[in-house]
Amino acid sequence: MATLKPDEAEGGARMCAFLDTIAHSELGPKLIEATDDGYNVIVGSTPQKPILFGSYAEHPRRYQANMNSDAAGRYQFLGRYWQHYKAQLKLPDFGHRSQDLWAIQLIRECKAIAMIEVGAIEDAILFCRSRWASFPGAGYGQHENRMADLVAAYRKAIEVYA
């Protein structure tokens, strides 16, 4: 589950459920369950062999050559953007709350907050596909999840917050 509570998140329960949907898409439920809710995951992890970082002080920037990426955290953020968002959002660290706030900022940049607020989840996913490679139609050459699977994950998540 997202660390932010519905009354703390722009978009409320629907935003929290959307954050859970991003994590589901990027990491999968088994890896989320096997880790610190996904907040400490390095790209290339599997449920059988998680690659984790131990400190939330900064983005870990652990480059995985086989993935050509240093993505980390619940929402698989790239290290090259950390300093920018840390300063912009005044994030104290790369902890749970900071990762949630950073993800919401990316959603805001994609102009998808209003879609989430009204429950237009498919549209929000499409608008955010430039930020998350696992979203359908992202076009990064990585595994993309099916829209129906992400909508089902969202519906399951929203029940938790309702």
Tens-digit pLDDT profile for residues 94-106: 999 999 999 999 9
pLDDT digit string, tens, across residues 8-32 = 988 899 999 999 999 999 999 999 9
- 125 has a pLDDT exceeding 90: yes
Q: Which fold has domain 12-161?
A: Lysozyme (1.10.530)
Mean pLDDT of 138-143: 89
- Report pLDDT for 127: 98
- Report pLDDT for 162: 78
Question: Is 10 in the active site?
Answer: no
- 142 has a pLDDT exceeding 90: no
Residue 59 pLDDT grade (very low, low, confident, very high; cuts 50, 70, 90):
very high
Q: DSSP label at 142?
A: S
The CA-based angle 83-84-88, given to 5 degrees, is 115
Residue 56 pLDDT grade (very low, low, confident, very high; cuts 50, 70, 90):
very high
Mean pLDDT of 153-159: 97
With tokens 């498919």, the residue in question is 122
- 138 has a pLDDT exceeding 90: yes
Domain spans of the chain?
12-161
Instruction: Determine the 3-state secondary structure of 123 from DSSP.
Output: helix
Task: Find the catalytic residue in 8, 10, 26, 33.
Answer: 26
Residue 78 pLDDT grade (very low, low, confident, very high; cuts 50, 70, 90):
very high
CA separation for the pair 59, 18 (Å, rounded): 22
Pick the closest to residue 29 from 131, 161, 142, 145 (CA basis): 145
- Report pLDDT for 96: 98
